[in-house]
Amino acid sequence: MKRLLLLLVIVGAFLLLRTVQWAVPDSMAPAAPDPIIAELPAKYPAPTHFKTTIAPLLEKYCTSCHGGNKPKSNLSLEFSDQPDVEQRLLKDRKMFEHMAQRIRVGEMPPGKRAKPSEAEKGVLLTWIDRDVLGINCSTPGQFGQVARVRRLTRVEYINTVRDLFYFKDFQPTDDFPPDHIGYGFDNIADLLSISPNLLEQYLSTAEQAIVQLDKTAKPSPNWEAKAKTYWEPDNGVFLPIRDVKLRFNNNQDRVRLVLQTFLPRAYRRPVTPEEIERMMEFARWSLTQEGESFTRPKSVYAPLRAALCSPYFLFRIENDPPTGIAPINEFELANRLSYFLWSSMPDDELFKLAKENQLRANQAAQVRRMLKDPKARALIKNFAEQWLCLSALNRVSPDPKLFPEFDEALRLAMREETERFVEHVFKEDRSVMDFLDADYTFLNERLAKHYGIEGVTGKGFRLVKLDPRHHRGGLLAQASILTLTSTPTRTSPVKRGIWVLETLFNDHPDPPPVDVPPLDADGAALTGTVRQIMQKHRDNVQCAGCHSKIDPYGLALENYNAIGVWRTKEAGFEIDSSGLFPNGKSFSSIGEFRAILNGNQAEFRKALVEKLLIYALGRGLDYADRCAVQEICSRVSQQQDRFSSTILAIVESDLFQKRKAKGS
């Protein structure tokens, strides 16, 4: 009966949430929109004339591939006999976004074909951004919108229950279903749905939290003094519930006092008197149904359970400004900060500053404080592990006949090296360029022997300075990455190349054509080096375009075998680790490849900023976000790419700080 009643209340609250916005006091309302921003028209220069300026450039550089009877990617840019080509082209926004990206990085035109000058590139990119896509970085509001309602992820929910009750740890016995992955992360708002089964699990977990609270509750030493100001926070001891339950729960006023303290923290915002009274009414109703009264010691438990299953607890909710663009309010900012850096609710200090309207003024100091807090390890567990696809390492199974040295201890050591390396960059505020190439890593004796590095003993991990002859440094030389991007029997230049493109440069190659057979489809045994085997794909016209982009990154790493051991020969042949990129840059060794990789710092900086933004905002990035990304990257570069500078630049950006009115 108790569960049925509570579920009815929850469902009713969800229906209410879909139709109305919650009432907030004036101090909680969104800041008034800037009238200049709200009314400012888009003042673009005169549009570029397509036929006289753009068409000749497309014909000069593009139609050799995108023309004729079989244009590449089924995209024809020939227009001499197509008078409506401009109108048809302008409808394909995604195509132009893709085109602009390829022009920026120098991949169009591909290979050694004649490329446009910087001035010509500027004309094409300005036309695409300004005239086709309507993007002008000098105009305010050039950014996409964050979802107004966003469910807590499984990890965020568990962490929030833990911190709400000041538990040292909280692990519910129910197995929550995994959250769906989008854009590489499991906190994407559009994919965080809710089901009846999940509601049941929330209810069960709420009951487990109350049981744990009951077991750990102890009266504070000075509870009698507290009985005279009724309650007062006491350095992490949850007095409002514990003292009231154990000493003062003999009437409704004491339950109301609990709710006045508990609900603002549970809902992560100020609550109105009406909300308190609604919860009190539920408490009266539920107690009556169960034949109990407010004189019972556990009379406060029913409203606490209801609060833990409320949409205002389970969802992060933000209000849109009435018009134009406006900063989010301080409580919304506290939530964005805490769930970005901690995957949990704001702590008392963030709440205090938000209540005083001082959080934004002290934002930089708070970010630095939060990054030093142990809860910031959530950035490694939740962001970095998803960014680097480290969970895939748990599923790899190298062939034991070919790689007998691989075992569970080595797998765990591989993962720990990467986790400690990332944590070092984050906590020591290193340059994020260490991810590309670093002169140090973290090893124990087992992993050091795997790498052929002497002088490391014991099971414990420690920082080890690397010598160039070790052929290590940065993420790409770590066994965890090299192993999870291989097959059970051999290396995979394609898997490695795709990992580099998607993870380090946020560049997603097109999927392979559905009608392309696998390499061994003809039944012939695969012999020779991996490079020789891969040549079959590069010789296939359907495959050559993508493989010319993917393969160089993977082939450059061929000196590392399928579990990350350095080698110079494969199948009796000397390994050839040379390659040619679509932009014309070539390398003949791993050293030259590293030099090219280090020369791509701007691309890596942009990709890391984009990945962090996706994680922070809970959505994929729009082309309109490019202006904000550009500004963030510029700030990060000026601050020597320090990790804290990257986080601060993101937090202080309009993308993180503001919302636009619906339909703006």
Instruction: Give the mean model confidence (pLDDT) for residues 63-85.
Output: 74
Neighbours of 335 (CB within 10 A): 22
Query: Region 147-167: what's the mean pLDDT?
Result: 94
Helix, strand or coil, per DSSP, at residue 603: helix
Asked if pLDDT for residue 11 goes beyond 90, the answer is no
CA distance 299 to 379: 39
* Segment holding 443, helix H or strand E: strand 440-443
Q: What is the mean pLDDT of residues 299-312?
A: 88
Task: State the average pLDDT over residues 60-66.
Answer: 86
- Tell me the pLDDT band of 232, cut-offs 50, 70 and 90: very low
Q: What percent of the chain has pLDDT over 90?
A: 55
* pLDDT of 400 over the 80 cut: yes
CA dist., res. 660 & res. 30, Å (int): 11
What pLDDT does residue 214 have? 72
Tokens of 390: 């480290």
Q: What is the DSSP letter of 458?
A: S
Closest CA to 180 of 169, 188, 170, 168: 188
Residues in the chain, overall count = 664
Task: Decide: 508 and 521 in contact? Cβ < 8 Å.
Answer: no
Q: Which residues contact 211 (CB under 8 A, 6 or more apart)?
A: none
Angle between helices 118-126 and 93-104 (to 10 degrees): 160
Q: What is the mean pLDDT of residues 520-530?
A: 58
pLDDT higher at 439 or 24 = 439
More confident residue, 145 or 140: 145
Side-chain-side CA neighbours of residue 302 (13 Å): 29
- Spatial contact of 229 and 220, defined as CB atoms under 8 Å apart: no
Across the range 501-517, mean pLDDT stands at: 82
Q: Tell me how far apart the terminal alpha carbons of the chain are, to the nearest angstrom.
A: 47
Average confidence (pLDDT) over 302-321: 94
- pLDDT band at 525; cut points 50, 70, 90: low
**CA 569 remoteness from chain centre:** 39
Burial class (CB in 10 A: 0-12, 13-18, 19+), 47: exposed
**Residue 106 binned pLDDT confidence (cut-offs 50, 70, 90):** confident
Chain-centre distance for alpha carbon 465 = 30
State the average pLDDT over residues 513-524.
Answer: 57
Structure tokens at 127: 């036309």
Query: Taking the model in full, what pTM does it have?
Result: 0.85
- Residue 384 pLDDT level (bands cut at 50, 70, 90): very high
Evaluate the CA torsion angle 126, 127, 129, 134 in order and state its sign: positive
* Chain mean position to CA 48: 37
Residue at 22: amino acid letter: W
pLDDT given at position 223? 41
Helices and strands counted in the chain (H then E): 30, 10
pLDDT winner (highest mean) among 113-117, 217-221, 528-532, 554-558:
554-558
Pairwise CA distance, residues 162 & 169, whole Å: 6
Q: Please say if the pLDDT value at position 266 is more than 90.
A: yes
Of the listed ranges 32-41, 235-244, 274-283, 582-591, the least confidently predicted one is 32-41
Give residue-wise pLDDT tens across range 473-485. Answer: 999 999 999 999 9
- pLDDT value for 145: 87
The confidence band for 395, taking pLDDT boundaries of 50, 70 and 90, is very high
The pLDDT of residue 226? 43
Pairwise pLDDT comparison (370 vs 624), residue with the higher score: 370
Asked if the model's pLDDT at residue 247 lies above 90, the reply is no
Compute the distance between CA of residue 130 and CA of residue 128 in angstroms, rounded to an integer: 6
Integer Cα distance of 303 and 297 in angstroms: 14
Indicate whether 254 pLDDT > 70: yes
pLDDT at 23 over 90: no
Token digits for 504?
Answer: 């380090």
Of residues 34 and 69, more confidence is placed in 69
pLDDT > 90? residue 10:
no
| pLDDT band at residue 634 under the 50/70/90 scheme | very high
Mean pLDDT of 492-513: 90
Return the beta strands (E) in 398-439 as ranges: none
Q: CA separation (Å) from 405 to 102, 398, 484, 563, 598?
A: 43, 10, 16, 9, 32
Instruction: Check: CB of residue 202 under 8 Å from CB of residue 314.
Output: yes
User: What phi and psi values does residue 43 have, to the nearest 5 degrees?
Assistant: -100, 90
Spatial contact of 367 and 651, defined as CB atoms under 8 Å apart: yes
Whose CA is closest to 201, among 178, 218, 220, 226? 178
| DSSP one-letter code for 65 | T
Report the pLDDT value the prediction gives residue 572, as an integer from 0 to 100: 86
- Both tokens assigned to 176: 């929550």
Phi, then psi, of 654 in degrees rounded to 5 = -60, -35
- pLDDT at 344 exceeding the cut of 80: yes
In angstroms, rounded to a whole number, what is the distance separating the alpha carbons of residues 129 and 630? 14
Among the ranges given (48-62, 102-116, 510-524, 567-581), the one the predictor scored with the smallest mean pLDDT: 510-524
Structure tokens at 565: 């051991």
- Gap between the Cα atoms of 656 and 532, Å rounded: 48
Distance CA 183, CA 179 (A): 13
Determine the distance from the C-alpha atom of residue 495 to the mean position of all C-alpha atoms in its chain, rounded to a whole number. Answer: 21
- Residue 439 has a pLDDT of 96
Mean pLDDT for the chain? 84
The predicted pLDDT at position 128 comes to 87
* % of residues, the chain, pLDDT over 70: 80
- Is residue 484 within 8 A of residue 417, CB to CB? The reply is no
Position 597 confidence tier, pLDDT thresholds 50, 70, 90: very high
Check whether 284 has a pLDDT greater than 60: yes
Q: 325: which strand partners?
A: 660
State yes or no: pLDDT of 636 exceeds 90: yes
Tokens at residue 397, please?
A: 């199974």
Give the separation between CA 57 and CA 50, rounded to whole angstroms.
10
- Element (H or E) spanning 253, and its range? helix 252-267
Could you check whether the bond before residue 398 is cis, i.e. omega within 30 degrees of 0? no
User: With bands split at pLDDT 50, 70 and 90, how would you rate the model's confidence at 82?
Assistant: low
499 or 145, higher pLDDT: 499
Given a cut of 80, whether residue 387 has pLDDT beyond it is: yes
Report the C-alpha gap between 307 and 186 in whole angstroms: 25
Phi and psi angles of residue 440, each rounded to the nearest 5 degrees, phi first: -150, 160
Q: What's residue 35's pLDDT?
A: 34
Ramachandran angles phi, psi of 75, nearest 5°: -115, 115
pLDDT of residue 481: 98
pLDDT tops 80 at residue 544 = no
What's the rounded Cα separation, in Å, for the pair 303 and 76?
A: 64
Say if residues 42 and 142 touch (Cβ distance below 8 Å): no
